[in-house]
Amino acid sequence: MYIVTAQEMRAMEEHMFHEIGISALVLMENAGRAIAEEAAQFSHRGNTRGSERGFRWLIIVGKGNNGGDGLVSARHLAEMGFGVEILYAVHPDQLRGEAAIQRDIIKKLGITTSLYSNEESNAQEPQWSRWDGIIDALLGTGTSGEPREPYASIIRQANASDLPIVSADIPSGLNADTGEIPGTCIKAALTVALSYCKRGVMIYPGSEAAGEIVVRSIGIPADLARSMGVKTYQLDEATLSRRFGISFPLNRKSDTHKGTYGHVLVAAGSSSMSGAGLLSAKAALRGGSGLVSWAVPEQLAVKLMGLIPEVMIRGIADAGDGQWSGTTAKALIDAAEGKKAVIIGPGLGRWNGDSEWLLELWENVTIPVVVDADALNMMAEDRLATPWPRRSAATVLTPHPGEMARLCGMSTEQVQRDRIGVASSYASQHHVVVVLKGAHSIVASPDGEIYVNTTGNPGMSTGGTGDVLAGIIGSLLGQGMETTQAAALGVYWHGLTGDRAASARNSVASLIASDIIDFL
Ligand SMILES: NC(=O)C1=CN([C@@H]2O[C@H](COP(=O)(O)OP(=O)(O)OC[C@H]3O[C@@H](n4cnc5c(N)ncnc54)[C@H](O)[C@@H]3O)[C@@H](O)[C@H]2O)[C@@H](O)CC1
Ligand SMILES: [K+]
């Protein structure tokens, strides 16, 4: 449930050593055994390779503790009856501490080892076809920068071998904190995360390199992370239940009426982009709101009457063109009166002076607000110069990486290189909840809580799904849900529904935003 950084992991290990008295050797033993057990299970999964002569594992070993874990796993796999051979990336004399102890044990047990070399030296280049699977114990959380030689060559050759790879802790080459791949990286079929999932395996491209992930306990208590102040969580049903007491299907008390579930105002859509507003308003309804009002420029309002019978259309005086450019912020502030939450942004369009228009709303709407799409770009343009004041009520920003980049004055690539870091520092600096969209959306709260979503699929990369998400989160806020909770549940539910819709259609590619609304 917790996701940790390399530094948090080190602090917890230190705590185990010095405060609890469990030695590094014990943790390494547990780690290696867990990796061996998972690798053994993996080799029994109907994988025909090696079935006649028994499955043979090649363990590729680096010089740090990750390598030590690999050496322990080799010993356990050999005991289980697997063919086992060790390939050292560096001369085994270079191993230190617990890893060196494991090296000596391996030697005394007589397990075959060799030293990697791609040069013409006395060491040998591996013949990958002799093995059926690889245990990757080259580099773990102690990695910095791109893998140096000979690690880089081993990684490239292991990937090219086409053998299934089980990675110890993280795929070697991955940045454990950001999910970045600075150089080359193991492409694992399975990653055995030790104690906790590291951030990097939860974020693309890291999560793609990690393949399937299993988290194995190695003797560090599961709740140590909490007492050490870790606030990053995998956003799944277990987290929703433990952190917020939410479980699916979402229930309602029996004795309630529409007033119980809040009245939200959706300010979205214009004559050229009315669909965005339609999707947000419908999603707010399906999100469970008691009442939904949809505010649009007056000229457009006439055309929308009756389009969604459950939604009340509220026309805002415009210049006769159905565009927001002719409206006043004051009129929208009045429309927000008596509502429980506002969703603003999808399909608004842009015009001269739009930032001032939005700032007036920002300052004078005293209920929770979800800011999305065009409204985020209005903010970005103005806020970079002068930060906007802190709102008294809840604020949720739902940028995609491009919008996040504009808000922060950086490039999209910079945002994607450190999704958690960027979302979380923006949230705490500006006192807002940030939902950074994209594969594994991030929810970051101003007080440092971070949730990394586990639902959703690439079919959701299509126009309108963001409008749906804004509608759902706004609906939950309008129902009185706490800000971070509403954002986290909204993100998880949106992804889950996208997954259900895709499986009902038996297609990820043909998923459209309306499908998500239909399946909420
Ligand atoms: N989580 C836990 O409680 C435990 C973690 N253990 C393992 O320990 C690992 C961390 O061990 P270490 O801190 O020794 O670090 P690593 O084993 O990740 O590797 C560090 C070594 O690699 C070298 N190195 C760093 N970056 C490199 C690069 N780019 N190219 C080539 N060489 C590079 C360093 O000089 C250092 O010697 C974890 O990933 C895990 O596998 C276990 O041993 C048991 C306990
Ligand atoms: K590894």
* pLDDT tens digits along 56-91: 999 999 999 999 999 999 999 999 999 999 999 999
Spatial contact of 198 and 177, defined as CB atoms under 8 Å apart: yes
User: Chain-wide mean pLDDT for the chain?
Assistant: 95
Give the pLDDT score at 121.
52
- What distance in Å separates the CA atoms of residue 459 and residue 441, rounded to the nearest whole number? 14
Q: Among 449, 473, 43, which Cα is nearest to 284's? A: 473
Q: How far is the CA of 362 from the centre of ligand 2 (A)?
A: 47
pLDDT in tens, 473-508: 999 999 999 999 999 999 999 999 999 999 999 999
Of 7, 25, 143, 191, best ligand 1 pocket probe by most atoms within 8 Å of the beta carbon = 143
pLDDT tier, 51 (very low <50, low <70, confident <90, very high otherwise):
low
Q: Known binder of ligand: residue 236?
A: no
Residue 52 has pLDDT above 70, yes or no: no
Q: Which atom of ligand 1 is nearest to the CA of 151?
A: 31
Beta bridge partners of 370: 343, 396
Q: Among 383, 425, 34, 386, which Cα is nearest to 191's? A: 34
Of 194, 197, 216, 230, best ligand 1 pocket probe by most atoms within 8 Å of the beta carbon = 194
Edge-to-edge strand order for the sheet containing 369-371? 232-235, 450-453, 442-444, 433-436, 395-397, 369-371, 341-344, 263-267, 291-297, 312-316
Q: Which two tokens stand for residue 183?
A: 């150089």
Q: Which atom of ligand 1 is nearest to the CA of 173?
A: 29
Rounded alpha-carbon distances, angstroms, from residue 233 to 43, 138, 197, 238, 515: 30, 27, 9, 10, 28
- What distance in Å separates the CA atoms of residue 218 and residue 241, rounded to the nearest whole number? 25
Q: Among 413, 450, 415, which Cα is nearest to 435's? A: 450
- What distance in Å separates the CA atoms of residue 154 and residue 166, rounded to the nearest whole number? 15
Give the pLDDT score at 47.
57
Write a three-state SS string for 31-56. Answer: HHHHHHHHHHHHHCCCCCCCCCCCCE
Positive or negative torsion for Cα 76, 77, 80, 83: negative
The residue whose two tokens read 């709102």 is 391
- What distance in Å separates the CA atoms of residue 12 and residue 416, rounded to the nearest whole number? 28
Give the pLDDT score at 118.
67
Stretch 318-333: mean pLDDT: 97
Stretch 20-33: mean pLDDT: 97
Q: Among 167, 136, 163, 169, which Cα is nearest to 56's? A: 163
Residue with the nearest Cα to atom 24 of ligand 1? 143
- Cα pseudo-dihedral 346, 281, 427, 441, rounded to 10: -90
What's 17's DSSP letter?
I
Q: How far is the CA of 236 from the centre of ligand 1 (A)?
A: 29
What are phi and psi for residue 252, nearest 5 degrees? Answer: -130, 150
Residue with the nearest Cα to atom 13 of ligand 1? 142
Q: Known binder of ligand: residue 145?
A: yes
Please tell me whether residue 191 adopts helix, strand or coil conformation: strand
Stretch 108-127: mean pLDDT: 80
Q: How far is the CA of 68 from the centre of ligand 1 (A)?
A: 9
Q: Which two tokens stand for residue 85?
A: 């051979």
Q: How far is the CA of 400 from the centre of ligand 1 (A)?
A: 34
C-alpha distance across the termini of the chain, in Å = 25
- What distance in Å separates the CA atoms of residue 143 and residue 258, rounded to the nearest whole number? 55
Q: Which two tokens stand for residue 143?
A: 């990695």
- What distance in Å separates the CA atoms of residue 267 and residue 183, rounded to the nearest whole number? 45
Q: Which two tokens stand for residue 1?
A: 């449930």
Please tell me whether residue 254 adopts helix, strand or coil conformation: coil
Q: Which parts of 375-455 are beta strand (E)?
A: 395-397, 433-436, 442-444, 450-453
Question: Which residues' Cβ are closer than 6 Å to ligand 1?
Answer: 9, 13, 27-28, 31, 62-69, 139-148, 151, 168-169, 194-195, 218, 220
Q: CB neighbours (10 Å) of residue 229?
A: 9
Residue 122 has pLDDT above 60, yes or no: no
Residue 168 has pLDDT above 80, yes or no: yes
Residue 120 has pLDDT above 60, yes or no: no
Residue 372 has pLDDT above 70, yes or no: yes
Residue with the nearest Cα to atom 41 of ligand 1? 66
Q: Which ligand is nearest to the CA of 5?
A: 1
Residue 54 has pLDDT above 90, yes or no: no
Give the pLDDT score at 50.
66
State the alpha helices, DSSP H only, in 248-384.
274-286, 298-304, 329-336, 354-364, 373-383
Residue 300 has pLDDT above 90, yes or no: yes
Q: Which two tokens stand for residue 282?
A: 């419908």
What are phi and psi for residue 399, nearest 5 degrees? Answer: -80, 150
Q: How far is the CA of 138 from the centre of ligand 2 (A)?
A: 5
Q: Among 143, 176, 147, which Cα is nearest to 8's? A: 176
Q: Kindly provide the ipTM of the predicted complex, given to two decimals.
A: 0.97
Does the pTM of the predicted model rise above 0.80? yes
Widest CA span in the chain: 87
Residue 92 has pLDDT above 90, yes or no: yes
The residue whose two tokens read 């185990």 is 16
Q: Known binder of ligand: residue 439?
A: yes
- What distance in Å separates the CA atoms of residue 370 and residue 376, rounded to the nearest whole number? 10
pLDDT tier, 1 (very low <50, low <70, confident <90, very high otherwise):
confident
Positive or negative torsion for Cα 213, 13, 84, 146: positive
pLDDT tier, 426 (very low <50, low <70, confident <90, very high otherwise):
very high
Q: Which atom of ligand 1 is nearest to the CA of 220?
A: 3
Give the pLDDT score at 126.
81
Give the pLDDT score at 296.
97
Stretch 449-474: mean pLDDT: 97
Q: Which two tokens stand for residue 47?
A: 């994988």
Spatial contact of 459 and 498, defined as CB atoms under 8 Å apart: yes
Of 30, 65, 136, 166, best ligand 1 pocket probe by most atoms within 8 Å of the beta carbon = 65
